[in-house]
Structure 1
Amino acid sequence: ALVPQSLDVANNRLSALPAALADCPRLKDANLRGNPLRDRRLEKMGRAEGGREETRRRKREKQQKKDGGDGERDEAEAVGKLLLKVLHVGDNPAPMVVRASPGVRDVRPYIVCCVLRGVQLRPGNAVRRFLSAQTKLHEDICEKRTAATIATHDLQLVKGPLTYSVLPPAELKITPLGRKEIKAKDLLRQLQVEAEEQRKQKKRQNVSGLHKYLQLLDGKDSYPCLVDAEGVVISFPPITNSEKTKIRKTTRDLFLEVTSDTSLQICKDVMDALILKIAELNRFTLENKEEGSGSDDESDALSGPVSVNPSQNTQQPLVVEQVRVVDMDGNLKVLYPSKTDLATVSSLLTVIR
């Protein structure tokens, strides 16, 4: 039998609620407003839920106005037609697992990962929009990477299981996006030289690109990294991820990673926002009649206006697969998405669990 997760009985003549509701353990929210309930505590619950939703709505509208006004709000509301399916670990015959070493505890302790299948990056400038959106999330919700850092990988190029670990700067080797393989200490020295050249050329203190994040590693004896089953470093947060797992136009399935030295909840909030943004972009790409092959350019790009045609609603739901983070003994540390994750975007996405 179907078990409801939400109940809307607003503006009826209910003076009491049936006791059978106690047999609905998966019920997450109930709209009870506008009913002459005898138990005033239930009325307060309804108002509290409505207040939380109103607060979320105002926050979304504020962010959307900041991002570009009514046009983007209309597009975001249209995302309500999306379906986001969550595939649980137990339903997946070969789930991805990340093992976290004890050393990350003192360097960058928090990591959240998941798999997202079914993205559309081939048409037009879809890749550029995807990368631009990631850059914007780094600037805003990630607070210029000081709160958290996002890394996105082509799942087909990720060899699991993965290990989240730390290495000394002289031992950590990575092939950064658009560069040749290099040791972490040499990469940071190279970026510092480039930053100084940037300042001299532009005659100002501000620098762009990876150079903005060098100070985030100041004072650390070891650097965090995500290593694949072949021993290759695919991510070096908060600086860069690897050319080996780079997102391309042919990418259909993603491995998403968010790390932080601040809190686990920040990682989850950023991951929620990232999945929502990818879902929006996916819908826009499928409904937009773009021509041309676009570019795989990894530089920051500003996306042009997207033409949305509501009549073309042939999209299959994106599938989110849970990823476990365990310690080196196999004990569970984090599972994403859990039952409480992706709840903040429920008004924009229908999550099938």
Structure 2
Amino acid sequence: MAAAVVAEAPEPWPEVDLVEREQRRELLLTGPALEERVRAAGGRLPPRVFSLPLLHSLEVCGCASLREPGPGLARGLPRLRSLVLRGNALGPALSPELGPLPALRVLDLSGNALEELPPGRGLGPAEPPALPQLQSLNLSANRLRALPTELARCAPRLQTLNVARNRLRALPAELFALQLLSELAAADNELQELSPAVAGLPALKTLDLANNQLSEIPGELADCPKLKEINFKGNKLKDKRLEKMVNGCQPKSILEYLRVGGRGKGRGKTDGSEKEESRKKKRERKQKKESGEGEEEEVEEVNKLLIRILHVSENPTSMTVKVNPVVKDVRPYIVCAVVKGMNLKPGNALKRFLSMQTKLHEDICEKRTAATIATHDLKLIKGPLVYGAQSPQELKIVPLGRKEIKAKDLVRQLQLEAEEQRKQKKRQNVSGLHRYLHLLDGKENYPCLVDADNVVISFPPITNSEKTKIKTTTSDLFLEVTSATSLQICKDIMDTLILKMAELNKFTLENKEEQSLSDTEADGVSGPFNLQSNQNAEKDGSPPLIVEQVRVVDMEGSLKVLYPSKTDLDITASHITIIR
């Protein structure tokens, strides 16, 4: 007698069930449980997802098993406006099944493993355009070596393009035909030139080409009528004066320099006339110096970003972090540092600092899925610190902007708030801390950083404590970066964080912002910064930011991590000097 064949039950997809049953327009798929379900579906999304004709927003994040969206994406979702497939494993090529999507406005494929975008129906020539309404395209943090030449034809209404942190060697000339493009981010690639055709972008407001291999900046860039923000730091420009301006001046000054015929302009003067003018300027500078008028130019020469590393051997009171082995299966990696000399008091300095941290969380931290940053007022911490894990019922913290609460109750409170947000906005996406709750799914214990008074100062990846909150009077900070996946990711993000802090400090100093009158905490500047130090800095250049090494050890005291080590903060950009 033949054995009966029992069909396997399909993998459950409760999120899809809910969207289908309540006819919702947003679908969010994320969390540890997603991995197994996508793996069971062959590295794709289930076909049911593409039978939701009312769907406006589809977001699938942080799934290492997702290698392609799956067939039927374009055919089944004619009203889709936002498609976010961030932090998955898409690649090496994007499936041609992506497109056409006639209603799509936002496409985010960042943080994947894409090496190419095939011309096909998705991002190639099509009649009508494959993505006629697309306004924002994020391809950052992939492995792309080239962009399709058909991109402008495919998405003629594109306004924001982010291709940072890839391996691009050139931008296609066709890209400069996008009449509505206002933001172009292509930092951290291998670009060797910027085409003069950039002048064909009449709506361009922001251009970021930092950390590439550019040797010149075309003068035609000054012909972009709306350009306000530019970043060419980390490029080795032939015009050394222009390079210094790039590293220290406002965009308006750089564009004016290009406009009047600086050597980076790429048009006008011959090599001979350039050399003669260079000699003439040197003579003029010498004469000014002898007459005492050259002081301002000297400031430009020395006003670089200075970062001084203070070693453990030089600082007997250096902070130490002990790691409890219970955190191994929860969130095992942590890197810490102390930074002294921040000036957060004037104007909007604190606001810019917090905005910078938020942007890092969104970008290189991949919405906290790769790592989480926490910053504390060093003076409010008592060491040594212990990094460990506690049960949700035991862990207590005073979250930012809230009263003391157990982690279990905080998570429940945030879940209720998230549900209320969804009801009020009639959508599945939420904002604030609520976006990160899924990162705790399946965790029996939660990670935490505790000081010597047994006060929990950090609960990654959700929040840090109100008790160590950064204020305008804060000048000395304790920094932590934690990750569930990689120690190197922690170090890379800490490098970036410290560099950004140095840049912010220099910006605050150079712009001489007035102290905010609404600051009720203004009881005198904490740390080495005040009006007199600012005046001295104008003469001597920006004072260095001090970075103190922090040791991370096991419970027996054996060294696990020392940051920054000799190989950390290995920055070769011309506008930065590291004093070791």
**TM-score (normalizing by structure 2):** 0.47
Aligned pairs for 1:255-270 (under 5 A) are 255-270=478-493
Question: How far off is 1:348 after superposition?
Answer: 4.0
The 1:346/1:73 distance shift into structure 2, 3 A limit, reads closer
Q: Distance in 2 between matches of 1:321 and 1:165?
A: 23
> Which structure's CA Rg is the greater one?
2
- Of 135, 144, 152, the residue aligned with 2:375 is 152
Q: Distance in 2 between matches of 1:124 and 1:253?
A: 18
* One-letter amino acid of the structure 2 residue matched with residue 65 of structure 1: D
Residue 289 in structure 1 maps to residue 448 in structure 2: no
Question: How far off is 1:58 after superposition?
Answer: 5.7
- 1:133 is paired with a residue of what secondary structure? helix
Question: How far off is 1:71 after superposition?
Answer: 2.7
- 1:128 is paired with a residue of what secondary structure? helix
| Structure 2 counterpart of 1:321 | 548
| Structure 1 counterpart of 2:450 | 227
* One-letter amino acid of the structure 1 residue matched with residue 577 of structure 2: T
- 1:257 is paired with a residue of what secondary structure? strand
Q: Distance in 2 between matches of 1:138 and 1:218?
A: 19
Indicate if the aligned counterparts of 2:209 and 2:231 stay in contact, CA closer than 8 A: no
| Structure 2 counterpart of 1:26 | none
What RMSD in Å do the two structures reach over aligned CA positions?
2.8
Structure 1 regions of 5+ residues with no counterpart?
Answer: 1-51, 298-309
- Of 327, 339, 342, the residue aligned with 1:119 is 342
Residue 195 in structure 1 maps to residue 418 in structure 2: yes
Indicate if the aligned counterparts of 1:99 and 1:163 stay in contact, CA closer than 8 A: yes
- 2:230 is paired with a residue of what secondary structure? helix
Q: How many residues align?
A: 289
Q: Distance in 2 between matches of 1:247 and 1:76?
A: 30
Give the helix-richer structure, 1 or 2. Answer: 1
| Structure 2 counterpart of 1:134 | 357
| Structure 2 counterpart of 1:107 | 330
Q: Distance in 2 between matches of 1:312 and 1:242?
A: 39
Residue 65 in structure 1 maps to residue 208 in structure 2: yes
Q: Distance in 1 between matches of 2:375 and 2:518?
A: 17
Indicate if the aligned counterparts of 2:370 and 2:484 stay in contact, CA closer than 8 A: yes
Q: Distance in 2 between matches of 1:128 and 1:295?
A: 13
Residue 92 in structure 1 maps to residue 315 in structure 2: yes
* One-letter amino acid of the structure 2 residue matched with residue 326 of structure 1: V
* One-letter amino acid of the structure 2 residue matched with residue 138 of structure 1: H
Q: Distance in 1 between matches of 2:455 and 2:246?
A: 38
For residues 73-109 of structure 1, give each alpha carbon's deviation from its aligned partner in whole angstroms, at most 9, with x where no partner exists.
4687229801100000011021100000001110000
- 1:111 is paired with a residue of what secondary structure? strand
Aligned pairs for 1:167-206 (under 5 A) are 167-206=390-429
Q: Distance in 2 between matches of 1:58 and 1:188?
A: 37
Indicate if the aligned counterparts of 2:310 and 2:548 stay in contact, CA closer than 8 A: yes
Q: Distance in 1 between matches of 2:498 and 2:486?
A: 19
The 1:296/1:329 distance shift into structure 2, 3 A limit, reads farther
Residue 77 in structure 1 maps to residue 274 in structure 2: no
Q: Distance in 2 between matches of 1:255 and 1:263?
A: 21
| Structure 2 counterpart of 1:338 | 565
- Of 451, 454, 465, the residue aligned with 1:242 is 465
Question: How far off is 1:289 after superposition?
Answer: 2.8
Indicate if the aligned counterparts of 2:187 and 2:208 stay in contact, CA closer than 8 A: no
Indicate if the aligned counterparts of 2:343 and 2:508 stay in contact, CA closer than 8 A: yes
Once the two structures are overlaid, the 10-residue window that deviates more, 87-96 or 342-351, is 342-351
Percent pairwise identity: 68
For residues 260-291 of structure 1, give each alpha carbon's deviation from its aligned partner in whole angstroms, at most 9, with x where no partner exists.
00100000000000001101100011111323
- 1:204 is paired with a residue of what secondary structure? coil
Q: Distance in 1 between matches of 2:396 and 2:375?
A: 19
Give the strand-richer structure, 1 or 2. Answer: 1
The 1:58/1:227 distance shift into structure 2, 3 A limit, reads closer
**TM-score (normalizing by structure 1):** 0.76
